[in-house]
Structures are given as structure tokens and as C-alpha cells.
């Protein structure tokens, strides 16, 4: 599955749970599936963050630096 598909499925689950119109058993099943989707999305985002860190590494070491999209230079502290 892709991140976008997982997020779409998760939004659908949240909407169904928020409606309050489904039986408890089904709510528990949806909740469990939702937790799995959250974990999958979190893993994808962590991997994407690692890739961004590696790609924005400009000083030759393998640690990289964290990326802050608002800083304009790719680093949190401006260095």
C-alpha cells in the first residue's frame, strides 16, 4: 500500500467512528485497523525524513542534518 492510500483509508475509518452509527464490535475492528494504518504511515514518514536528511547533507559526513522547510537553507539552526 502507499502512504496516500493508507491516509485515505485512515480518514474513512475516523469518519465512520465519528459517526457513532456502528456497533461496538465493528468499532473495535476499525480502531485496530486504524492503529495499524497509523503505524504504517508513521514508519513511512520516518523513512522519508531519513532520506531528506541524507539528501540535504552537504558537509560530507553521514549524520546529515535536520531539514527545516521554513529556514530556507535546509538546517534548523541556520548552519
- Ordered by start, the domain boundaries in the chain are 3-55
Cα(5)–Cα(25) distance, rounded to whole angstroms?
24
pLDDT at 57: 79
58 vs 7, more confident: 7
Backbone angles phi, psi at 44, to 5 degrees: -60, -45
pLDDT at 56: 85
Cα(50)–Cα(65) distance, rounded to whole angstroms?
10
CB-count exposure of residue 67 (10 Å: 0-12, 13-18, 19+): middle
- pLDDT tens for residues 27-77? 999 999 999 999 999 999 999 999 998 888 765 555 556 666 676 654 444
pLDDT at 77: 47
Does residue 5 have a pLDDT over 90? yes
Amino acid at each position: 500500500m502507499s502512504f496516500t492510500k493508507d491516509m485515505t483509508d485512515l480518514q474513512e475509518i475516523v469518519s465512520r467512528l465519528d459517526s457513532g452509527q456502528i456497533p461496538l464490535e465493528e468499532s473495535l475492528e476499525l480502531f485496530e485497523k486504524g492503529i495499524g494504518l497509523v503505524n504504517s504511515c508513521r514508519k513511512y514518514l520516518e523513512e522519508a525524513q531519513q532520506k531528506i536528511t541524507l539528501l540535504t547533507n552537504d558537509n560530507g559526513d553521514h549524520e546529515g542534518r535536520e531539514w527545516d522547510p521554513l529556514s530556507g537553507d535546509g538546517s534548523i539552526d541556520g548552519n
